[in-house]
A and B are shown apart, each in its own frame.
Chain A
Amino acid sequence: MNIIVLAIVSVAVIALVCSVMLVIASNVMAVKEDPLFPAVRECLPGANCGACGYAGCDGYAKALAAGTDKRTTLCVPGGADCAQALAGVLGLEAGAVEKRVAIVFCGGDCTRTEARMDYQGAHSCAAAKLLFGGAGACAFGCLGNGDCVAVCPENAITIDKGVAVVNRDLCIGCGLCERSCPNHVIGVRPMSQKVFDRCSNPNRGKAVMDVCKAGCIGCTKCSKVCPEGAITMDHSLAQVNPTKCTACGTCVASCPTHCMSFAEPGMAPAPAKAERAEEKSAAAQ
């Protein structure tokens, strides 16, 4: 009897000591959370993509709640709605948010370029890149093994004929694909930019033509024909200034390798009269 009582009492005393210790500790050392934090966190989409520059949505919400960051427009996936909601919660003025989407700077699909080897390794661009710079003839183009497809949280990327294609409606512009691409073929650009030089090969002329029929040969023709002066040459690749570009399509029509192209096929302006006449005669033949 005595033994049972002793056992019960000693275990109870140990448990009591432990619980008192825990109660005191949790009261004394409680971490006070900012009351704004849950409200701010509620506004964010919770994708934890890191496009805002913070480590996940929690990090951004913490900075906003603490007042160390007053920019409510950093959330790319949330867009304008999110910025508005955040501004409402924090009592700040919302700025304009421009939607950004990923663009694939490579047009070298399997009909335009050829493989140097029959790659049978791991199905990953990073792995393929390690093997003599990838299986494709062009060492700068899309490797087509879908590392970007794997990281995309919105399933906005598909591989079509060996080149990644971004669905601009689904893309949230988080930039995960940009960071996953070993050849840096994908970039996140403003939605308003409509014309792109779809090539990442920095070589010139014959060196590009030898490996890909769709590559930019750096002929500078587009920069000369552009009526707005929106195109500049960065070494041998054309860069379009989205604020000057009116998407008139002059450069697209003039490009000898058709690497200057619209982001979406539907963006092309109505063809000029002369072209229409040509099309008619072609149709008649």
Chain B
Amino acid sequence: MDVKHLLFIILGAVFVNNYVLQRFLGICPFLGVSKKLDQASGMSIAVVFVMLLATAVTWPIQHFLLDPNGMGYLQTIVFILVIAALVQLVEIVLKRYIPALYKSLGIYLPLITTNCAVLGVTVLNITEKYSFGESMANSFGSGLGFFLAMVLFAGIRARTENCEAPESFKGLPITLTAAAILAASFSGFAGVVETLFGA
């Protein structure tokens, strides 16, 4: 588990298996909060933070609690429970000790509680049979991928809002079309990272 391997996982999660644009998880905030760049980046930073925390908690639960007792089928419900409680706890701690960070992340934290990208990354870490270090790298990369997709799409939306779209394309249709083109262009990264690392 050298640095090169971790870098491979991170870059793979950002570009090749981008959670929003290739796995189609977390589409709700992708369309909902991407109207303004500052909101999009605030939300994404909160997602990176929660993804890392959630992985740090759910990986030990899976490997030391669920698997030894043959309760792997409880994975989804336990993960949802733990992530929801964790986000609440983080919110309380932030409000008390780092009010400035709470103000910038605060409104997005409850939204992330039920974000399927967060649940998705924790579950996929288990199914991919990653070690703890690899899981953390994958979570960080996935969060960065979410950040990248949000920031790119916020920029695209700023342009589509101002353009003269045909009447029937105004609003959501042009947004979804733009998202589809962005997702299609990201599939061009498939194979690039593998070739880069000779894996």
Contact = CB atoms under 8 A, between A and B. Distances in A.
Q: Do the two shown chains form a genuine complex with each other?
A: yes
Interface of A: 3, 6-7, 10-11, 14-15, 18-19, 21-22, 25-26, 29-31, 122
B89 A21 contact: yes
A10 B95 contact: no
A15 B85 CA distance: 9
Contact of A10 (B69, B92, B96): B69
Interface of B: 61, 65, 69-71, 74, 77-78, 81-82, 85, 88-89, 92-93, 95-97, 99, 162
Contacts of A30: 96
A6 B68 CA distance: 13
A14 B96 contact: no
A149 B99 CA distance: 35
Contacts of B162: 122
Contacts of B88: 22
Given A11-B74, A122-B162, A18 B85 contact: yes
Given A11-B81, A18-B81, A22-B88, 13 more contacts: A3-B70, A6-B71, A10-B69, A11-B77, A11-B78, A14-B78, A14-B81, A15-B81, A19-B85, A22-B85, A25-B92, A29-B96, A30-B96
Given A10-B65, A10-B74, A26 B81 contact: no
B74 A7 contact: yes
B144 to A, nearest CB: 28
Contact of B92 (A15, A19, A26): A26
A3 B74 CA distance: 11
Contacts of B81: 11, 14-15, 18
A6 B85 contact: no
A122 B78 CA distance: 52
Contacts of B71: 6-7, 10
Top-4 shortest CB links A-B: A18-B85, A29-B96, A25-B92, A29-B92
A18 B83 CA distance: 10
9 contacts: A7-B71, A10-B69, A10-B71, A11-B81, A14-B82, A19-B85, A25-B89, A25-B92, A29-B92
A31 B91 CA distance: 12
B41 to A, nearest CB: 19
A98 to B, nearest CB: 33
A22 B95 contact: no
Nearest to A28: B96
B161 to A, nearest CB: 11
B42 to A, nearest CB: 16
Contact of A31 (B61, B89, B96): B96
Contact of B95 (A6, A18, A29): A29
Nearest to A122: B162
A40 to B, nearest CB: 19
Contacts of A3: 70
A29 B65 CA distance: 29
B115 to A, nearest CB: 18
B69 A6 contact: yes
Nearest to A18: B85
A14 B95 CA distance: 24
Contacts of B95: 29, 31
